[in-house]
Amino acid sequence: MNDFITTEAKKAYPLAVSIRRNLHMHPELSTKEFRSAKLVFDHLKELGLKPSYCCDKTGVTATIGNGAGKTAVIRADMDALPIHEETGLAFSSKVPGVMHACGHDMHTGILVGAAQALIACKDRWKGNAVLLFQPSEEMAPGGAVSMIREKAFPQSADAVFGLHVSTDHACGTVGLKSGPDYAGVVDFEVVVKVKGGHGAAPETTADPIVCSCAIIAQLQTLVSRESPSHEPCVVTVGTFHSGTKQNIIPTEAKFSGTIRALSDAHLEFLRVRLGEIVLAIAASYKAQVAVRYEKAYPPGYNDPALTQKAKQVLSKTLGEKKVHMREAPVMLAEDFAYYQKKVPGVYVHLGVRPLQKKSVPGIHTPFFVPCESAILTGIAVHVSLATDILSV
């Protein structure tokens, strides 16, 4: 079976590459993946499947049915990022300011290629392979919520699989992390308000900039002094806006960021303490303050038994030396976690770092260039994991 999977993955590779490059040249932002969805829809029809649109025609689902048996779900995301590409690739983005800087074009091409390979080896498995081509992974709360709400994700399934490109691992290899992997995220926005005044007379008013800076500095103690050392978490302030002129104390300052943790309980603790710190410091500066929260993504969790089985399966397909067990979780976030809350799942780190390089630009940068031959590995990963669940 392993040799057969490798052979069929190689046959599907040209189609997957073609789709990846097409999507890369025509990236679409979250909730706008109409062209991407149609491209996938048309290719699935050409493979003899009966795809369906969902999420206002920005998502696609299809089932490869093959008699009675278990159900395995495989997911790919399709949206791009608001980043202007600077890679110089021959198939660079033709859309100014929009780029597949997170590898979702690779994910989508890989899953279509896996569909072709799964169809080719139907005599070796039974059941249902459900394919999810999901929109809006990059926009909280994530397209997975819509896929579940619209029942594109099956009501009953035995396992769910996905993968994400990773420069942590060399091309041709994969990483697996049992248990917690990918953080849960809560977004926050803080607005500090005062009456404002002249820069020459700061004693006549409060200063929202000084107040905000004090809050931001104190928030770092949530990690360094209030969180257990064995529970990774991150507090990041990513935006800060205030003022119009150098000699004016403004009436308002606004900043926003994220808190990340690997459990719902720790995430809630950080959210509550963040609010308490904000209110206490604002009061000490005689400023009014408002805090807004939005839960973006839940923590990810790779089922330990399924992860161990995935290690065994992928070691046979790829080779033992090409499957790396990761000790530490990543603190990135993924709405794939919503699927993992419904059924046992494994989210694979797909190595895309060129073999001859130890360091390359990472995801979410305008210079991100994943090793394209990793598509072959990705196809083999999907087919191997799905057929193991659906084995005759």
Residue 252: other Cβ atoms inside 10 A: 17
Question: Residue 1's pLDDT is what?
Answer: 58
Residue 286: other Cβ atoms inside 10 A: 12
Residue 168: other Cβ atoms inside 10 A: 15
DSSP label at residue 262: S
At residue 65, the 3 state secondary structure works out as strand
Helices 2-25, 104-120: axis angle to 10 degrees equals: 140
Residue 372: active-site member: yes
Give the span between the Cα atoms of 138 and 156, in whole angstroms.
26
Residue 362: other Cβ atoms inside 10 A: 15
DSSP label at residue 103: S
Give the span between the Cα atoms of 109 and 14, in whole angstroms.
10
The continuous run of DSSP H or E covering 39 comes out as helix 34-46
β 301-302/179-180 pair status: antiparallel
Residue 8: active-site member: no
pLDDT < 50 positions in the chain: none
Residue position matching structure tokens 């040209």: 14
Which residues, in sequence order, are CB contacts of 189 under 8 Å at separation 6+? 254, 255, 256, 291, 292
Catalytic residue among 297, 301, 339, 347: 297
Residues in the chain: 392
Give first-to-last CA distance, the chain, whole Å: 12
Question: Residue 378's pLDDT is what?
Answer: 98
Question: Residue 3's pLDDT is what?
Answer: 86
At residue 364, the 3 state secondary structure works out as coil
Question: Residue 2's pLDDT is what?
Answer: 79
What does each C-alpha distance from 369 to 102, 173, 181, 189, 231 come to in angstroms? 10, 17, 24, 33, 32
